[in-house]
Amino acid sequence: MTPTTLKARYVRSMNSLYIPAGIIEPPFFDSAADPAVNFGGIGVLAAHELTHGFDGLGSKFDERGNVRDWQTSDDRKEFAQVTSCEVAQYIKSLPKSDDPGDLPAGKGNGNLGVAESTADNGGLRIAFRALMDVLVEQGRAPDNKIDGYTEGQRFFLSFAQISCENQTFFSARQSMSADPHSVGRVRVNGAVQNFEEFGKVFACTKGQPMYPVSSCRVW
């Protein structure tokens, strides 16, 4: 990785997390921003990468990076069962041929993207919990507002902004069929739909699309 690479990386064979200098800047990190913005940006990013140490591939490496499968057969079976929810969610989220939105209809590979979807969901939960711990340490209330938004709302807005993108029709269609990372809209909406705190901080009604009654959870 070069210093200008705009992505973090977890290396299983070394059990190490790498964050290049190029990503320690807005929208991922801003030294002048409040904690909610940074935890929603680089905080989620770091937590996302660390969860890869416990996914289907990460579980084949021990704490020293040696190849050793530490999951039992029952562990692996249960892990596959809970992640199957995210596979189904991803496929369901893809636009159909009559979709009025701006994403092209396509057939996505839910199994290809399940590791990244799982990491998005886990990273979001871990970073949010870390933010709440920091707010307690600083004596700040979760409902404190900056620019009209509470701490929790700013966290989720920051998380969404790191996935903002401009993508052509053909690029989006290719991404949905070959890239393990979902296109921005699907990636953001899927992760927050699976985290009840999103619905709570934005005062959504249970059962609405962004605050479903049943959602997927691995971590």
Query: Within a domain: residue 75?
Result: yes
Q: What is the pLDDT of residues 3-56, one digit of tens each?
A: 988 889 999 999 999 999 989 999 999 999 999 999 999 999 999 999 999 999
pLDDT band at 167 (very low <50, low <70, confident <90, very high): confident
The C-alpha atoms of residue 114 and residue 8 are separated, in whole angstroms, by: 18
d(CA 191, CA 169): 23
Write down the catalytic residue from 34, 49, 86, 116.
49
In a domain, 15, yes or no: no
Q: Is 179 noted as a catalytic residue in this protein?
A: no
Q: How many domains does the chain have?
A: 1
Q: What are 106-136's pLDDT values in tens digits?
A: 556 667 788 999 999 999 999 999 999 999 9
Which listed residue (34, 55, 120, 151) is catalytic? 120
E-assigned strand segments in 7-147: 9-11, 16-18, 145-146
Give the CATH number of the domain where residue 81 resides: 3.40.390.10
Distance separating alpha carbons of residues 28 and 73, to the nearest angstrom: 38
Full domain range(s) for residue 31: 27-62+70-201
Residue 12 domain-assigned (yes or no)? no
Is 16 in a helix, a strand, or coil?
strand
**Cα dihedral sign, 157-163-164-168:** negative
Whether residue 120 lies in the annotated active site:
yes
